[in-house]
């Protein structure tokens, strides 16, 4: 065999090995996450409260990301973010009911029901229920924080919010969401911290948390600043594992893509720390 043919042979051999080792992912769509006894009594809930599961078919004990879409609590659709495709994680994307057809706290209740479903069912899709991370962008980030910080929402389903391995809100409100304020005729420039604000529920025993926002000069009004205040207050009360990143040069929408590598690193680091 000549040198050239040897090179071609081994190149072809290793290329086929790599292809053979690449995980095969499957997407299962539109699974209802509320029990039938609840869903059948509410047509809108039956329509909206569904989730998709994107998972590697041959893997076992795979870390899970629950992804909640943005849209101001009044729009948006579930989707698997491109930056999380084929990254070695299960991604569960959930829809929830929207304003004005529902009002608070229905959005948070739906997010909690979806997360509870994941805890109880993800083993069917090769997931590790001890390694569930809750994330989302904008309104989805707000919902992720509320579900992870106010333990009452998951307790309804017999799930301890402290079982969440990490919270990763991307540019989410830490004060009361502007749509929740709108429902009460409160203006956008008046910040409120009540029971519907993640800041209201800060606690040092909350799950590890990664906060990411866009550039404070390009972000939505005050979004970086309220996240920075949340980070500071969590530090003051003694939370041991919370990080804050501001992505210079990126606005509220543009910051999502660059956030995924930070998210992936955070999940791997958190999992590694837990296993020590």
The single residue listed with the structure tokens 């594992």 is: 241
- pLDDT in the model for residue 275: 77
Give the closest residue to 98 by CA, choosing from 128, 83, 79, 78.
78
**Which residues does 155 contact at the CB level (< 8 Å), separation at least 6?**
161
Which pTM does this prediction carry? 0.92
Q: Where are any strands of DSSP class E within 86-239? A: 90-94, 127-137, 166-170, 209-214
- Amino acid 15: pLDDT: 47
Residue 87's CB: how many other CB atoms inside 10 A? 17
**Over the stretch 201-222, which tens digit does the pLDDT of each residue have?**
999 999 999 999 999 999 999 9
What sign for the dihedral angle of Cα 26, 30, 31, 33?
A: positive
Q: Is 73 exposed, middle or buried (0-12, 13-18, 19+ CB in 10 A)?
A: buried
Whether a cis peptide bond, with omega within 30° of 0, leads into 105 is yes
The H-or-E segment that residue 63 falls in is strand 62-68
* Domain edges within the chain: 28-275
> Residue ranges of the chain with pLDDT lower than 50?
1, 4, 6-7, 10, 13, 15, 17-20
pLDDT, residue 22, reads 78
For 28-275, CATH number? 3.40.50.1820
Q: CA distances (Å), 103 to each of 59, 149, 252, in order? A: 40, 20, 24
Confidence (pLDDT) at 16: 53
């Amino acid at each position: 065999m000549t040198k050239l043919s040897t090179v071609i042979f081994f190149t072809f051999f290793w290329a086929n090995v790599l292809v053979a080792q690449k995980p095969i992912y499957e997407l299962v769509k539109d699974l209802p996450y509320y029990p039938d006894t609840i869903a059948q009594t509410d047509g809108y809930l039956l329509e909206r409260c569904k989730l998709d599961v994107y998972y590697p078919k041959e893997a076992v004990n795979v870390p899970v990301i629950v992804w909640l879409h943005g849209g101001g609590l009044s729009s948006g659709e579930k989707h698997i973010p491109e930056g999380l495709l084929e990254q070695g994680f299960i991604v569960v994307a959930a829809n929830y009911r929207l304003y004005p057809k529902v009002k608070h706290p229905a959005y948070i209740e739906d997010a909690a029901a979806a997360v509870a479903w994941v805890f109880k069912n993800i083993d069917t899709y090769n997931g590790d229920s001890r390694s569930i991370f809750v994330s989302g962008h904008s309104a989805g980030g707000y919902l992720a924080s509320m579900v992870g910080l106010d333990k009452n929402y998951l307790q309804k389903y017999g799930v301890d919010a402290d079982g969440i391995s990490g919270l990763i809100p991307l540019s989410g409100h830490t004060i009361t969401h502007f749509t929740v304020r709108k429902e009460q005729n409160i203006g956008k420039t008046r910040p409120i911290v009540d029971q519907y604000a993640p800041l209201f529920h800060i606690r040092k025993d909350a799950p590890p948390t990664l906060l990411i926002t866009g550039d404070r000069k390009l972000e939505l009004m005050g979004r970086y600043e309220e996240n920075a205040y949340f980070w500071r207050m969590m530090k003051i009360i003694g939370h041991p594992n919370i990080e804050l990143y501001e992505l210079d040069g990126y606005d509220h929408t543009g910051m999502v893509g660059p956030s995924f590598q930070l998210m992936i690193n955070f999940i791997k680091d958190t999992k590694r720390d837990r296993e020590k």
